[in-house]
Structure 1
């Protein structure tokens, strides 16, 4: 017996329009990424109405490509166009969300993920058929994009919003403590902290050789002698973590990517001193679709999870928790790792993450 509702022509027409709009906006994401990476948005924000040749000259780019890119910008409504003078203009209201000057509001920066994830579409499809996962090594430019995202979301508010989540932390860093960043990526956070607090010692651990190399290079360029980067598989961190060595441990959106997240958390518990602090940034999903539907970036986060977070974990024969594992499950894993004191915080500029201040 067929209990499905009858075909509704109006709903079909609406869905068709929805898909056409999605097709346009999916294409636009690539052009927004180009506008960000090329600096076109930054240059146009400083210009009045200008021809494509003038924009190309200021940006030091090929005019033919700039003109075609402008076609996508105009037809999408991002850039204004005067048909009389054949000139283009980026409104200030739009520049506030697509330029580097916009800081944490620069959404064009995140558009780079469309191209990064698109590169592994074939491998992801193979996983749909055969299972398994896609390793970190297949994601070209991933660490570069993540480092830029870290700079925009974390570094920009490190001193003003993040460190103050723990009132005594800044004083401790000035006096001198040992800090560990687990899953440190390219290490921009600990390199920044190492610059700010020369009396403290900083260690970053990550599975990726590329990320560790990036962190070491930046540290060398900054002449830092109080930071160390270690390439490490953390799947047995519960056994290999040093005992009670660190006063302060951080993870920035990295636990849900791990092959064995509980073992990593147990390792963090082991490595943290009795009176130490663990600061954990992780996605503020819920694991419940009826709730995640309300998240303004729910579709984006599930897509990133499917095409990166979940699959890199499965590539390590891991759990594949995915980015949207949720606050309740996060706290459950923290409790199972041994932590009993967990405070959840949210920052106004970061609609994607929860910030957990955790003690033993």
Structure 2
């Protein structure tokens, strides 16, 4: 086979090597996160033996891990002292219970990899993969990737950007969170706004069980959780505030869910939908550095979980144009689309047109 542009082929080969290397390093970053190696390394320059002692691990495995960290540009090495260092500029992205720590995201990647054979079969057989399969693969790591995001940004970063919402929650409101997962957002809101009542709803029983455990530990008496399908949400009772964090596009029947949300919204209520900040048009996402990751997660999780329930397979990359159109078709007035604390997400602020003065 004759190659028209050998330089382009070599450049693409280098790109493929970069991708494969990144995949391996992602797995090793996950090991560093789960075993505490990064936290131990952040305490100062260290030999492989000293780091193994700090972390309580086997030195031979730690030494090989360090080799990958150094050659991968994550840590540095001084051959004279045989000491390794996690640069202070790198540490905030690999340590600490913060939204900046990439470690929890590697757990999500491990979950997706565990279910990958089932997704591959869907390419041939069609259908989908039930969300319970992902929950089982995630185990105790279910919901971890969003936990620190909520801790750091939920109240001021997400809710605080919606005009008047914090005042409403402080005064006392009935709040529903759809697709609440392990319920951390609900539990945090319940603690922050004791005059309001909060209900979390999710179809995943394992996630709700974790939510209830955390609720009990936090003593959040103004919160409760339900295992239920959002597409069957009843119009009564109504809620003053309904939220959905990165959840609507995962629904088997998002159109019905949005209509149910509109019907369950009390007069003067607000629907706050946090979702992916992309265009519905592929060509407009090409230059977005977050787009390949989001298309991949959509393929490996969002689409198969929706199709498993006989749904539309909308996917995370439905985009702002389609999201706005679907919200309007469901009967909402989209009052604003706001930036969120995360560049890959935006915040839709929606009201029921029936509330507008006639």
TM tier, smaller: over 0.9
CA RMSD of aligned residues (A): 1.7
* 1:1-360 correspondence to structure 2 within 5 Å: 7-47=4-44, 49-100=45-96, 103-139=98-134, 140-142=136-138, 145=141, 147-235=143-231, 237=232, 240-243=233-236, 245-347=238-340, 349-360=341-352
Distance in 1 (CA, whole Å) between partners of 2:140 and 2:309 is: 22
Range with bigger deviation, 176-185 or 74-83? 74-83
Q: Could you list the per-position Cα deviations for residues 66-98 of structure 1 after superposition, in whole angstroms to 9, with x for gaps in the alignment?
A: 222112111211111122222211011111221
- SS of the residue 2:272 aligns to: strand
State the 1:143 CA deviation: 7.3
CA distance in 2, matches of 1:142, 1:278: 29
2:241 counterpart SS class: strand
1:340 shift after superposition: 1.5
Q: Any gaps of 5 or more consecutive residues in structure 2?
A: 353-358
The secondary structure found in structure 1 opposite 2:93 is: coil
| TM-score (norm. length: structure 1) | 0.93
**Structure-2-length-normalised TM-score:** 0.93
Q: CA shift at 1:156, angstroms?
A: 0.8
The answer to whether the 8 A contact 1:143-1:185 is kept is no
**What number of residue pairs does the alignment pair up?**
350
Change (3 A) 1:341 1:12: closer
Question: Structure 1: where are the runs of 5+ without partners?
Answer: none
TM-aligned CA deviation for residue 154 of structure 1: 2.8
Tell me the distance in 1 between the aligned counterparts of 2:63 and 2:3: 47
Task: Return the alpha-carbon distance in structure 2 between the equivalents of residues 335 and 167 of structure 1.
Answer: 20
